[in-house]
Amino acid sequence: MKKKIPYGEQEFELLIKDNYYYVDRTEYIEKLENLNEKYIVFLRPRKFGKTLFINTLMAYYDVNNKEKFENLFGKLYIGKNLTPLKNNYYILKMNFSGIQTENKDILIKSFKNNVIASLVDFNNRYKLELSIKEEYSEPADIIRAFLTDAKDILNKPIYLLIDEYDHFANELLSFNLDLFRDSITKHGFVRKFYEEIKKGTETIIKRIFMTGVSPIMLDSLTSGFNITMNITIEKDFNRMLGFTKEEVIQLLEYYEIYSDKLLKEMEENYNGYKFNENASKTVYNPDMVFYFIIKYQKEKRPPQKIIDDNILSDYKKVQNLFNLGELLGVTIEKENGKELTKEQREKESSKRTIGNLLNEILLTGRTELTELTTIFNPGKRIDIKDIKSLLFYLGFMTFEMENLRTYLKIPNYSMRKIFSDYFTEYIEEKLTEYIDSEPIEIAVRNILLDGEINTFAKEIENLLSKLDNRIFMGFDEKYIKILMYSYLILTPFAMVKMEYPVEGGYVDIAMFKRYEEVPYEAIIEIKYIKQNEYTESKFKEKIAQAREQIERYKKSYELNSKNERMKKFIIIFVGKEAKFVEEVK
């Protein structure tokens, strides 16, 4: 009987006992134990297996698991390479996801209840009655009383595991910066809580492993909790979570669905993550790999939705950490006829800077990075380097080295789709009247199913006609290209590439089918003339340039081999009008 696919399953013991497929990461238990540091912070994007790894640590070190150790770990790396500290700790596990953040009172109450639930779980697992002072109002006081009692009663030390340490803080940053600062910084209740944890390391807490997505709380905790080592970008831990290409091949072969084509699609969609700039191997997002395999087994074809809704919603939750809402950022001196203040103009300038960054990323797929921000100071204004770093931590971008320069690049097609999705949402928010996006989606399908692009050109023209003129004033050819691409990439029927390299240059947009039954593929060359710069001679010149480029691209081996099923289109925009649309035979 084939092993079950552990998509969404985070309980290590359940995976082992109930015959789930498990990719062995237990060698890293040994590596962590061999570090000089005992208090570790390790960050990874959403849905990357952090909780499963924490549960693996819990199963390995728990004093309760001596009897079942062989059944759990006997066939794994760590079961054959035992470490001195196995089954040597009481495990105190905390998970700070799900904290309510509506206001300060609710936040403190929710955090407190979370702490109490963790302590109750500890007492229940070990059949103890350590002090849990639920009547105390401050979480710091509750954990202090508990640890004071623990040091007098427990005969072995505590290993503290903290999952999603920053989850509630990420939410606060997106809508209530004042509450974030009030809770996390100098006299905040979270800071006081971690100060008590630090005091506990002097007595009963002897190891800590803490995970999350971003380092936004680390600076705030540093003064009171300055004992941790952040190994997030350490080369030796680059692939502690995530799958290598070899492991994905083994998975596909095990489930008897391997093909070069399938591997190529999975690599393009889910691979590319590198958490150290000098690491030799990239890794795949593990949850997305399991999602793909489950869907493929059911449908006998790649899933139409490249990103599962559950994963997509997790990525969308963190988008507000950086200002994705202002992708284009136009200078505004007046709003509703009123002069903006200096502060308002500075805010607009900041939005414009972020907009320029995100346009660069959408157009080129990458941006240069001088230095990754490892500690964020909430009292300091976030600059463009910080925004780039957040994109890295959240999984939207990853390291790339070129000629001693460090870049951040979009790791794969699924993340590019998310960027494009944000862009279309932004555009639709800036329209002067509501537009139904479904006709645009149908028009995109017409390109691939009927081999015609006129409907799509008209839909883009209709969208531009309703775009706020203040936004449109900043448009040039690259914005038109990004706009079209951002709608085209949403189709499930094709892989859509921008600035696609071929023998004769770079195709503006290329569409390659994902399913054999899709009749057509396409390349699109786009030109743009501002309305106030239009002349008949310039218009004819743009048409001639586009035709020459298409003819050149047709000679490349890749496109020439596609025969008559590869459609070749030209669209010339003048202002908001798609003035010229042509299929080149």
How far apart are the C-alpha atoms of 585 and 173, rounded to whole Å?
A: 53
Instruction: Pick the range with the lowest mean pLDDT from 223-227, 526-530, 565-569.
Output: 223-227
Query: Does the pLDDT value for residue 316 go beyond 80?
Result: no
The reply to whether 254 and 207 lie within a common domain is no
In contact, 241 and 198? CB cutoff 8 Å: no
Instruction: Report the pLDDT value the prediction gives residue 337, as an integer from 0 to 100.
Output: 43
Instruction: Give the strand pairing for 158-163 and 90-95.
Output: parallel
In contact, 160 and 118? CB cutoff 8 Å: no
How far apart are the C-alpha atoms of 333 and 22, rounded to whole Å?
A: 58
Would you say residue 417 lies in a domain? no
Query: Does the pLDDT value for residue 341 go beyond 60?
Result: no
Beta bridge partners of 30: none
Q: What are phi and psi of 461, to 5 degrees?
A: -60, -45
Tokens of 331: 């200078």
Does pTM surpass 0.85? yes
Alpha carbon separation from 394 to 167, 387, 415 (Å, rounded): 12, 11, 11
Instruction: Report the pLDDT value the prediction gives residue 344, as an integer from 0 to 100.
Output: 52
How far apart are the C-alpha atoms of 290 and 401, rounded to whole Å?
A: 29
DSSP string over 119-162: HHHHHHHHT------TT-S-HHHHHHHHHHHHHHH-SS-EEEEE
The reply to whether 540 and 470 lie within a common domain is yes
Which stretch of DSSP H or E encloses residue 581? strand 577-583
DSSP type of residue 528: E
Q: What is the CATH number for 137?
A: 3.40.50
Task: State percent of the chain over pLDDT 90.
Answer: 69
Instruction: Report the pLDDT value the prediction gives residue 471, as an integer from 0 to 100.
Output: 76
Instruction: Pick the range with the lowest mean pLDDT from 218-227, 245-254, 277-286.
Output: 218-227
Three-state secondary structure call for residue 61: helix
Would you say residue 214 lies in a domain? yes
In contact, 491 and 445? CB cutoff 8 Å: yes
325 vs 54, residue with greater confidence = 54
186 vs 238, residue with greater confidence = 238
DSSP type of residue 89: B
Instruction: Report the pLDDT value the prediction gives residue 218, as an integer from 0 to 100.
Output: 82
Instruction: For 66-77, write each residue's pLDDT tens digit.
Output: 999 999 999 999
151 vs 320, residue with greater confidence = 151
Q: Locate tokens 């059911």: which residue?
A: 298
In contact, 350 and 357? CB cutoff 8 Å: no
How far apart are the C-alpha atoms of 431 and 143, rounded to whole Å?
A: 52
Within 13 Å and on the Cβ side, how many CA atoms surround 206?
A: 15
In contact, 196 and 147? CB cutoff 8 Å: yes
How far apart are the C-alpha atoms of 421 and 356, rounded to whole Å?
A: 17
The reply to whether 352 and 451 lie within a common domain is no
Instruction: Report the pLDDT value the prediction gives residue 324, as an integer from 0 to 100.
Output: 38
Would you say residue 424 lies in a domain? no
Would you say residue 209 lies in a domain? yes
561 — pLDDT class (breaks 50, 70, 90)? low
Tokens of 107: 């936040």
The reply to whether 233 and 257 lie within a common domain is no
Of 379, 409, 439, which residue constitutes the final position of a domain? 409
338 vs 308, residue with greater confidence = 308
320 vs 558, residue with greater confidence = 558
Tokens of 99: 């904290």
Instruction: Report the pLDDT value the prediction gives residue 585, as an integer from 0 to 100.
Output: 86
Query: Does the pLDDT value for residue 331 go beyond 80?
Result: no
Q: Locate tokens 């995976």: which residue?
A: 15
How far apart are the C-alpha atoms of 84 and 102, rounded to whole Å?
A: 45
Q: Tell me the CA end-to-end span of the chain in Å, nearest whole number.
A: 54
The residue range of the domain holding 488 is: 430-583
The reply to whether 278 and 338 lie within a common domain is yes
State CA 155 to chain mean position distance. Answer: 42
Instruction: Report the pLDDT value the prediction gives residue 321, as an integer from 0 to 100.
Output: 52
Of 237, 268, 289, which residue constitutes the final position of a domain? 237
The reply to whether 373 and 466 lie within a common domain is no
Query: Does the pLDDT value for residue 352 go beyond 80?
Result: no
Would you say residue 5 lies in a domain? no
The reply to whether 158 and 267 lie within a common domain is no
Residue partners of 84: CB distance under 8 A and separation at least 6: 33
Three-state secondary structure call for residue 243: strand
Instruction: For 510-553, write each residue's pLDDT tens digit.
Output: 999 999 999 999 999 999 999 999 999 999 999 999 999 999 99
Beta bridge partners of 94: 162
Q: What are phi and psi of 125, to 5 degrees?
A: -65, -35
The reply to whether 79 and 205 lie within a common domain is yes
In contact, 531 and 575? CB cutoff 8 Å: yes
The reply to whether 181 and 312 lie within a common domain is no
Residues 315-320 have a mean pLDDT of 61
Would you say residue 267 lies in a domain? yes
Three-state secondary structure call for residue 18: coil
How far apart are the C-alpha atoms of 71 and 392, rounded to whole Å?
A: 38
Q: Please provide the average confidence, as pLDDT, over all residues in the chain.
A: 89
Would you say residue 425 lies in a domain? no
The reply to whether 476 and 350 lie within a common domain is no
Alpha carbon separation from 489 to 365, 510, 535 (Å, rounded): 14, 10, 32
The reply to whether 316 and 365 lie within a common domain is yes
Nearest to 545 by CA among 528, 562, 521: 528
Residues 431-439 have a mean pLDDT of 90
Query: Does the pLDDT value for residue 328 go beyond 80?
Result: no
Would you say residue 54 lies in a domain? yes
| C-alpha R_g of the chain | 27
Residues 330-352 have a mean pLDDT of 46
How far apart are the C-alpha atoms of 513 and 183, rounded to whole Å?
A: 50
User: How long is the chain?
Assistant: 585
- Torsional sign, CA 200, 204, 207, 211: negative
Q: What are phi and psi of 109, to 5 degrees?
A: -60, -45
Instruction: Report the pLDDT value the prediction gives residue 129, as an integer from 0 to 100.
Output: 95
Helices (H), 232-383: 245-254, 260-270, 286-299, 309-317, 342-364
How far apart are the C-alpha atoms of 425 and 494, rounded to whole Å?
A: 21
The reply to whether 72 and 202 lie within a common domain is yes
581 — pLDDT class (breaks 50, 70, 90)? very high
Could you give the number of structural domains in the chain? 3
